[in-house]
Structure 1
Amino acid sequence: MTLVLDELGVDYVEGGWPGSNPKDEEYFKEIKKYSLSHAKVAAFSSTRRKDTKPSEDPSLNAVLRTDVDTAVLFGKSWVLHVNEVLKVSREDNLEMIYDSISYLKSHGLDVIFDAEHFYQGFKDDPDYALSVVKTAEDAGAKVVVLADTNGAMMPNEVYEITKRVVGTVRIKIGLHMHNDSGCAVANTVMGVLAGARHVQGTINGIGERTGNADLVQVIPNLIIKVGLRALNGSSSLRKLREVSRLVYELAGLQPNPYQPYVGDYAFTHKAGVHVDAVLKNPRAYEHIDPETVGNSRRFILSELSGSSNLVVYLEENGIKVDKKDERVKRALMRIKELENKGYSFDLAPASAVLIALKELNLYREMIKVEYWRVIDESGVNLAVVKVNGQLEVAEGVGPVHAVDLALRRALQKIYPELSRVTLTDYRVVLPSEVKNTESLVRVTAEFTDGVRRWRTIGVSTSVIKASIEALVNGLDYYLQLSRLRVIEGAQRSP
Structure 2
Amino acid sequence: MKNTDKYTRNYFNPPVSEHRWSSQEYISKAPRWCSVDLRDGNQALIVPMSLEKKLEFFQFLCKLGFKEIEVGFPAASETEFQFVRTLIEQKLIPEDVTIQVITPAREHIIRKTFEALDGCRKAIIHLYNSTSVAQREQVFQKSRSEIIEIAVSGAKWLTEYAAKTKGEFLFEYTPESFTGTELDFAVEICNAVLDVWKPQKEHPVIINLASTVSLSMPHVYANQIEYMSDHLNYRENVILSLHPHNDRGSAVAEAELGILAGGQRVEGTLFGNGERTGNVDLITLALNLFSHGVDPILDLSNIPQVVEMYEDATGMNLPPRQPYGGQLVFAAFSGSHQDAIAKGMQWRQSHSGAHWNVPYLPIDPQDIGRSYENDVIRINSQSGKGGIGYLLEHKYGINMPKPMREEFGYIIKGISDHQHKELSPEEVHQIFMDTYLNLQTPIRLDDFYFVHKKEYHTTVSLTVGKEEMELTGRGNGRFDAVSNALRRGLNIRFHDIVYQEHALERGSTSRAIAYVGITSDSQKTYWGCGVHTDIIAASIFALFSAIDRMLTQEQND
Is this a same-fold pair by TM over 0.5? yes
CA distance in 1, matches of 2:395, 2:286: 36
The structural deviation recorded for 1:159 is 1.3
- Of the three residues 105, 108, 114, the one matched with 1:64 is 114
The structural deviation recorded for 1:172 is 2.1
CA distance in 2, matches of 1:492, 1:314: 23
- Of the three residues 143, 146, 165, the one matched with 1:92 is 146
CA contact (8 A) 1:73 1:111 kept: yes
Q: Counterpart in 1 of 2:224?
A: 161
Q: Counterpart in 2 of 1:296?
A: 371
Please state if 1:41 is matched with 2:133.
Answer: no
Q: Counterpart in 2 of 1:393?
A: none
Q: Counterpart in 2 of 1:243?
A: 306
Please state if 1:9 is matched with 2:65.
Answer: yes
| Aligned residue identity for 1:16 | G
Secondary structure at the counterpart of residue 13 of structure 1: strand
Please state if 1:117 is matched with 2:177.
Answer: yes
TM-score (norm 1): 0.67
Please state if 1:341 is matched with 2:409.
Answer: no
CA distance in 1, matches of 2:216, 2:428: 47
- Of the three residues 8, 13, 24, the one matched with 2:80 is 24
- Of the three residues 131, 155, 163, the one matched with 1:77 is 131
CA distance in 2, matches of 1:344, 1:317: 21
Report 1:2-401 matches (<5 A): 2-32=58-88, 33=90, 34-48=92-106, 57-67=107-117, 68=120, 69-106=123-160, 107-108=162-163, 109-121=169-181, 125-140=182-197, 142-169=205-232, 170=235, 171-225=238-292, 227=294, 230-232=296-298, 236-282=299-345, 283-297=358-372, 298-322=376-400, 324-326=402-404, 328-346=405-423, 348-362=424-438
CA distance in 1, matches of 2:230, 2:296: 23
The structural deviation recorded for 1:131 is 1.0
| Aligned residue identity for 2:63 | E
Moved >6 Å (runs of 4+): none
CA contact (8 A) 1:203 1:215 kept: yes
Q: Larger C-alpha radius of gyration, 1 or 2?
A: 2
Secondary structure at the counterpart of residue 396 of structure 2: coil
| Aligned residue identity for 2:264 | R
The structural deviation recorded for 1:226 is 8.1
Stretch deviating more after TM superposition (278-287 or 239-248): 239-248
Gaps in structure 1 of 5+ consecutive residues: 49-56, 366-483
The structural deviation recorded for 1:259 is 1.6
1:213-263: CA deviations, max 9, x gaps? 011111122454384x6535xxx2324442233111222222332121222
CA distance in 2, matches of 1:139, 1:84: 28
1:353-394: CA deviations, max 9, x gaps? 3322233244569xxxxxxxxxxxxxxxxxxxxxxxxxxxxx
CA distance in 1, matches of 2:58, 2:179: 30
CA distance in 2, matches of 1:83, 1:289: 51
Secondary structure at the counterpart of residue 208 of structure 1: coil
Secondary structure at the counterpart of residue 216 of structure 2: coil
1:288-344: CA deviations, max 9, x gaps? 222333333321111221112221232245342335223x33332232223333331
Secondary structure at the counterpart of residue 281 of structure 1: helix
1:76-105: CA deviations, max 9, x gaps? 221321232122221121121122123213
CA distance in 1, matches of 2:267, 2:535: 60
TM-score (norm 2): 0.60
Question: Judging changes above 3 Å, is the alpha-carbon distance between structure 1 residues 85 and 492 closer, same or farther for their aligned structure 2 residues?
Answer: farther
Question: Judging changes above 3 Å, is the alpha-carbon distance between structure 1 residues 175 and 350 closer, same or farther for their aligned structure 2 residues?
Answer: same
Q: Counterpart in 2 of 1:53?
A: none
CA contact (8 A) 2:271 2:282 kept: yes
1:8-58: CA deviations, max 9, x gaps? 22232111111211211121121121131422111111112xxxxxxxx22
Gaps in structure 2 of 5+ consecutive residues: 1-56, 164-168, 200-204, 346-357, 442-528, 538-557
Identity %: 23
Question: Judging changes above 3 Å, is the alpha-carbon distance between structure 1 residues 205 and 138 closer, same or farther for their aligned structure 2 residues?
Answer: same
The structural deviation recorded for 1:274 is 1.7
Secondary structure at the counterpart of residue 73 of structure 1: strand
CA distance in 2, matches of 1:301, 1:489: 30
| Aligned residue identity for 1:307 | K
CA distance in 2, matches of 1:323, 1:345: 24
CA distance in 1, matches of 2:313, 2:271: 12
CA contact (8 A) 1:258 1:265 kept: yes
Q: Tell me the number of residue pairs that the alignment of Structure 1 and Structure 2 aligns.
A: 357
CA contact (8 A) 2:380 2:417 kept: no
CA distance in 2, matches of 1:20, 1:208: 17
Secondary structure at the counterpart of residue 402 of structure 2: coil
CA distance in 2, matches of 1:304, 1:143: 52
1:393-448: CA deviations, max 9, x gaps? xxxxxxxxxxxxxxxxxxxxxxxxxxxxxxxxxxxxxxxxxxxxxxxxxxxxxxxx
CA distance in 2, matches of 1:337, 1:189: 45
Secondary structure at the counterpart of residue 274 of structure 2: coil
CA contact (8 A) 2:243 2:267 kept: yes
CA contact (8 A) 2:291 2:362 kept: no
Stretch deviating more after TM superposition (269-278 or 351-360): 351-360
